[in-house]
Amino acid sequence: MSWEEAGRRAFNRYFNVYRKTEDHDDGQELAGDEIANAMIDAGIEIENFWYEDLPVDAWLGVFKGFSDAYKNIEKEVGYEPSELFMGPAHTWFSDAMFYSNEVHQDSRLEALIEEFNKL
């Protein structure tokens, strides 16, 4: 299982759904489903929410994939996505990390949150 790839797929799923429908809720749900499906494939049980039950070591890879895709989206699609997408996508992912850290209380997650909030 490549957690980095799961993070990249989650971002791309969110972006593609939003680009077609301009619906953040659907994009966020499908992005979360990408990660949840990767968790299921890895044998990780989801008891509450994917972001709370995703182990911190897996979060490191998901973060790298998602944040790299977020930072490089303009190069990928050939135009600068609107702030109407980028802002809510940033907030959604940042909030997922925050709520995960509420459960895990891990300095590595805190560092990721800080890094992502600089983007």
Q: Which two tokens stand for residue 12?
A: 């791309």
Confidence grade of residue 104 (pLDDT, cut at 50, 70, 90): very high
Q: What is the pLDDT of residue 82?
A: 95
Q: What is the pLDDT of residue 61?
A: 98
Residue pair 101/110 in contact by the 8 Å Cβ criterion: yes
Is the model's pLDDT at 1 over the cut of 80? no
Q: What is the pLDDT of residue 85?
A: 97
pLDDT (tens digit, 9 = 90+) per residue, 58-93? 999 999 999 999 999 999 999 999 999 999 999 999
Residue pair 119/67 in contact by the 8 Å Cβ criterion: yes
State pTM to two decimals: 0.95
Mean pLDDT of the chain: 96
Confidence grade of residue 116 (pLDDT, cut at 50, 70, 90): very high
Distance in angstroms (rounded) separating the CA atoms of residues 92 and 41: 23
Q: What is the pLDDT of residue 117?
A: 94
Is the model's pLDDT at 8 over the cut of 90? yes
* Residue whose C-alpha is closest to residue 91's, from 62, 68, 70, 61: 70
